[in-house]
Structure 1
Amino acid sequence: MPRFTDKIALVTGSGSGIGKATVDQLIAEGAKVIGADLNPGDATENYVPVITDVTQEDQVQAAVQTAVDRFGSLDLAFNVAGASKSAPIEEMSEGDWDFTVDLVLKGIFLSVKHEARAMTGGGAIVNVASLNAHVPMWFGAAYVAGKAGAEGFTKNAALELGGKGIRVNAILPGLVSTPLTSAFSENEALSKEFEESIVLSRPAAPEEIAKPMLFLASDDASYITGTSLVVDGGWEITGYPDLSKYMG
């Protein structure tokens, strides 16, 4: 029997990249999915899209409530939504900082807050942080700070929610081939530097992040909570390219 038969899942950032790959894999394994995104795509038999800005609490609450109203419960949640606006620290505007940190950190806080309230019978939550929670990046101070915060928040959520039977873990992807990273792949010299820094010499496909995320949410990980799983092709053990050469 598929691992997620009759399970109800919510995925933020469901419209593309890692989020869409997560939705597709969940449905293939028997789940019914609520997709929360600014552009969540079209409804199908087992997919309910909800237009959602995860930095707005009322919209997050509405997406979670949709799962409860439509299917009666919420069992699993995958908090994927994220993006950034990059600039050197001395030039970064307060607006760009707030945009990035609100999306990658506040968005996870709001999502977990309402997801946990709906998981009355226990459940599992997986938050997407980033390799950049551990490794700094030129012009990425807001993103690095937000993702490090997301990892720390995940551990705190695991501590607080374990008594309710809710496991909370983080996945830390490295470079993934998604629309958000297209600027890297389109720069041939920079793309080559990235590949030379990654032990497996290539970026991940979104499905290669979705699969370990589903592992952390499954019964196969029933004794895992509060942990961070780095899925980066071995990048963390090498180094990060000097992006200042490419981003003037």
Structure 2
Amino acid sequence: MADLSGKVAIVTGGASGIGFAIVQRLLKEDVKVAVADLNNEKLKELEKANKGNLIGCVTNVTKESDIEQLVNKTVQTFGRLDYAFNVAGASRAGAIVEQSEEDWDFTVDLCLKGVFFSVKHEAKYMKEHGGGSIVNVASLNAHVPMFYGAAYSSAKAGVEMLTKNAALELAQHNIRVNAILPGLVATPLTSSLTNVEAINEAYMERIPMRRAGEADEMAGPALFLVSDDASYVNGASLIVDGAWAVSGYPDLSKFM
């Protein structure tokens, strides 16, 4: 991979899961990192373990003022911003005819509006300072619906289209915007599914590689997309799913 050393990155949702894996890979590549998350305790641990190379920023990505402060603090601390990885997300599941407005808003605001605010303010800085590269974490569910996941799937489809629209608008400012679309990844957020043997087996029947991905297997593609090795990749959606997309989504309705 092209050299990333000396660069500065923001990672939202960086205290766990895919975001945490991206943070660890960035640090190995000698990139200074601003980690945005709501887990203040974990952020303090990361700062202590990586003094001078990492700052933790307690951030609610659904609040625009928090994102503005995040970008400002990153630049004030490290002097620049080159890359951004917008990972923060979660879901409250529910059947369409039963899902509450509150749960719908929670999911869509976190997964889509949070990415919008992030791209908006990251790109605003990059536009004025020579460009940069942004990676948004969408999901295979941007393409494939799932039972009781209408809010999440809709939000992730929105992230994919937001990514394409941002690439269209920002290319003239030397800013590339791409997305990765993970399939099933072994993280704390998916453990409620993968820890149930019958549900896990239903997934494995559909995933040709017969296993969930690891968070670090998402980090590698994400770093590739911001690197100069991907200098002509813009507005792309990179599916990282162990060939799941070519098979289909399991019927989870029997488990609910």
Establish whether TM, by shorter chain, passes 0.5.
yes
Please name the residue that 1:218 is paired with.
227
CA distance in 1, matches of 2:85, 2:77: 18
Give the Cα separation in 2 of the matches to 1:49 and 1:3.
24
1:138 Cα deviation (Å)?
0.1
The reply on whether 1:15 has 2:9 as its aligned counterpart is no
Matches within 5 A, 1:50-129: 50-119=57-126, 120-129=129-138
Segment of structure 1 superposing worse, 132-141 or 191-200: 191-200
Contact 2:2 2:228 in 1 (8 A): no
TM-score scaled by structure 2?
A: 0.95
1:113-162 Cα shifts (integer Å, max 9, x gaps)? 00011112210000000000000000000001000000000000000011
Alignment check: 8 A CA contact 2:2 2:229 kept: no
- Does 1:41 find its partner at 2:43? yes
Instruction: Give unpaired runs (5+ residues) of structure 2.
Output: none
The CA distance in 2 between the partners of 1:241 and 1:19, in whole Å, is 26
Q: Could you tell me how far 1:74 is from its partner in structure 2?
A: 0.5
The alignment's C-alpha RMSD in Å is 1.0
Separation in 2, partners of 1:73, 1:231: 30
**Maintained 8 Å contact 1:130/1:173:** yes
Residue identity opposite 1:41 in structure 2 = L
| Greater CA drift, 42-51 or 147-156 | 42-51
Structure-2 residue corresponding to 1:30: 30
1:171 aligns with 2:173: no
For the 8 Å contact 1:2–1:29, the answer to whether it is kept is no
Alpha-carbon deviation of 1:2?
7.1
**Matches of 2:101 and 2:15, distance apart in 1:** 28
For 1:9 and 1:126, the matched residues in 2 are separated by 11
The alpha-carbon deviation at position 239 of structure 1 amounts to 1.2
The one-letter code sitting in structure 2 at the alignment partner of 1:3 is D
Aligned counterparts of 1:164 and 1:88: Cα–Cα separation in 2: 42
Equivalent residue number for residue 150 of structure 1: 159
Secondary structure of 2:70's match?
helix
TM-score computed with the length of structure 1 as normaliser? 0.98
Maintained 8 Å contact 1:85/1:97: yes
Could you tell me which residue of structure 2 aligns to residue 159 of structure 1? 168
**Contact in 2 for aligned 1:8/1:76 (Cα 8 Å):** yes
Which amino acid letter does the alignment assign opposite residue 142 of structure 1? A
Alignment deviations for residues 179-232 of structure 1 (CA, whole Å, 9 cap, x no partner): 000011111011011111101000000000000000000000000000100000
State the alpha-carbon separation in 1 of the partners of residues 83 and 54 from structure 2: 14
Letter in 2 for 1:230: I
Q: Distance in 2 between matches of 1:137 and 1:160?
A: 31
Once the two structures are TM-superposed, the CA of residue 29 in structure 1 deviates from its matched residue by 0.4
Q: Work out the CA distance in 1 between the residues paired with 2:87 and 2:61.
A: 10
Matched, 1:244 2:253: yes
One-letter amino acid matched to 1:192: E
Distance 1:76 1:205 in 2: 22
Query: What residue identity is the alignment partner of 1:12?
Result: T
8 A Cα contact 1:68 1:118, kept in partner:
no
Distance 1:193 1:3 in 2: 40
Gaps of 5+ in 1: none
Determine what percentage of the aligned residue pairs are the same residue: 57
Amino acid at match of 2:89: G
Q: Secondary structure, in 3 states, of the residue corresponding to 2:189? A: helix
